[in-house]
């Protein structure tokens, strides 16, 4: 599908987008351009960590590190806010080898003037480890991420001989105001979505928390769309189906998968 050409592959399909409010626009606009009716109810909210002290300390001593790993745009945004607060510049980070999970994270880093040296073939932690395992022995690695995240990268890179420091740049919480909106949207057939999107394991866990124990019956006619295998695994662990899974673990990949599932 050529950029700029408006398709109606999702005409009339009601899609619930559960991304954080400040991130929903890319997914929503992409789906809307294809004719979808969009309902935005955030399953996740991004907040500052209780303390920036560990991140600030790492940034002040960034010359001690060889590698920097960012796993999300949220991590880039939060880290760069602290870089500016500490009156540092991109020059202080230029000596680093930088790894980013996914093209959006890469773009966010490059927009700040940082060169990204590694983007794994698959945009998941295991693929990062495969790319870096032979390069990090004896190196110091700074991993900037959310408060709650999988332990794959630090565990496996340490096993490969790296010294890995994990610092919290942000945390995700459940937006309680979404509870009544979500339940109302699923309670009536007129408003109920045909597709619900999940872009991370956190969105899945929070969705289940917001919905409570009623998800079995209210979701029987709804298709659940996952951005990739890690998110799909969380859906299945929590007793939910995976009806749609993106082959490329990105927002454009998720949109493409939803379109393909409707044809």
How many Å apart are CA 198 and CA 253, to the nearest integer? 12
Same domain, 197 and 165: no
What integer pLDDT is reported at residue 22 of this predicted model? 67
Q: How many residues does the chain have?
A: 263
Q: In what order do the strands lie in the sheet with 195-198?
A: 37-40, 14-17, 195-198, 223-226, 244-245
8 domain residue, yes or no? no
Give me the number of domains the chain comprises: 2
Same domain, 166 and 71: yes
Host domain of residue 22 = 14-44+175-262
68 domain residue, yes or no? yes
Query: What SS3 class is residue 5?
Result: coil
9 domain residue, yes or no? no
Q: In what order do the strands lie in the sheet with 140-146?
A: 45-47, 163-173, 140-146, 67-70, 97-100
Same domain, 161 and 207: no
208 domain residue, yes or no? yes
Same domain, 180 and 91: no
157 domain residue, yes or no? yes
CATH number at residue 24: 3.40.50.10090
DSSP one-letter string for 184-232? HHHHSTTT--SEEEE-SHHHHHHHHHHHGGGHHHHTTT-EEEESSHHHH
Same domain, 157 and 223: no
4 domain residue, yes or no? no
57 domain residue, yes or no? yes
Structure tokens at 166: 């994990």
What integer pLDDT is reported at residue 24 of this predicted model? 58
- H-type alpha helices, the chain: 24-32, 53-60, 73-85, 103-110, 125-132, 152-159, 178-187, 201-211, 215-218, 229-237, 251-262
C-alpha distances out from residue 12 to 8, 17, 35, 69, 99, Å: 9, 15, 6, 41, 40
7 domain residue, yes or no? no
Same domain, 36 and 72: no
Last residue of a domain, one of 138, 171, 204: 171
Same domain, 79 and 130: yes
What integer pLDDT is reported at residue 4 of this predicted model? 44
Same domain, 63 and 77: yes
Q: In which region does residue 138 sit, left (phi positive, over 0), alpha (psi from -120 to 50) or beta (all else)?
A: left
Last residue of a domain, one of 171, 203, 236: 171
Same domain, 25 and 57: no
The CA-based angle 126-231-262, given to 5 degrees, is 125
Last residue of a domain, one of 171, 206, 225: 171
What integer pLDDT is reported at residue 8 of this predicted model? 56
Same domain, 226 and 255: yes
Same domain, 111 and 161: yes
What integer pLDDT is reported at residue 129 of this predicted model? 92
Do 105 and 72 meet the contact criterion of CB atoms below 8 Å apart?
yes
What integer pLDDT is reported at residue 5 of this predicted model? 47
Same domain, 33 and 144: no
- Per-residue pLDDT 10s for the chain (263 aa) are 444 444 458 998 999 999 776 665 889 999 999 999 999 999 988 999 999 999 999 999 999 999 999 999 999 999 999 999 999 999 999 999 999 998 989 999 999 999 999 999 888 888 889 999 999 999 999 999 988 878 899 999 999 999 999 999 999 899 989 999 998 898 877 778 999 999 988 899 999 999 887 666 788 889 999 999 999 999 999 999 999 999 998 899 999 999 999 87
What integer pLDDT is reported at residue 9 of this predicted model? 82
Do 238 and 132 meet the contact criterion of CB atoms below 8 Å apart?
no
């Amino acid at each position: 599908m050529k950029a700029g050409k408006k398709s109606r592959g999702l005409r009339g399909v009601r899609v619930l987008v559960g991304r954080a409010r400040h991130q929903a626009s890319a997914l929503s606009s992409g789906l809307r351009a294809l004719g979808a009716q969009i309902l935005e109810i955030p399953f996740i909210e991004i907040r500052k960590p209780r303390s920036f002290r560990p991140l600030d300390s790492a940034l002040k001593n960034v010359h001690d590190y060889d590698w920097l790993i960012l796993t999300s745009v949220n991590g880039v945004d939060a880290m760069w806010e602290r870089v500016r607060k500490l009156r540092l510049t991109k020059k202080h980070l230029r000596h680093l080898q930088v790894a980013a999970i996914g093209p959006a994270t890469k773009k966010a880093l490059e927009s700040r003037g940082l060169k990204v040296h590694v983007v794994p073939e698959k945009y998941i932690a295991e693929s990062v480890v495969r790319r870096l395992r032979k390069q990090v022995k004896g190196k110091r690695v700074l991993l900037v991420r959310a408060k709650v995240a999988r332990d794959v990268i630090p565990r496996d890179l340490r096993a490969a001989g790296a010294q890995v420091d994990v610092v919290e740049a942000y945390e995700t919480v459940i937006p309680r105001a979404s509870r009544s909106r979500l339940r109302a949207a699923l309670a009536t057939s007129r408003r109920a979505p045909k597709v619900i999107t999940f872009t991370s394991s956190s969105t899945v866990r929070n969705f289940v928390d917001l919905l409570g124990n009623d998800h079995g019956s209210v979701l029987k006619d709804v298709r659940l769309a996952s951005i990739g295998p890690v998110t799909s695994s969380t859906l299945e662990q929590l007793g939910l189906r995976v009806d749609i899974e993106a082959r490329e673990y990105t927002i454009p990949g998720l949109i493409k998968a939803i379109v393909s599932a409707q044809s």
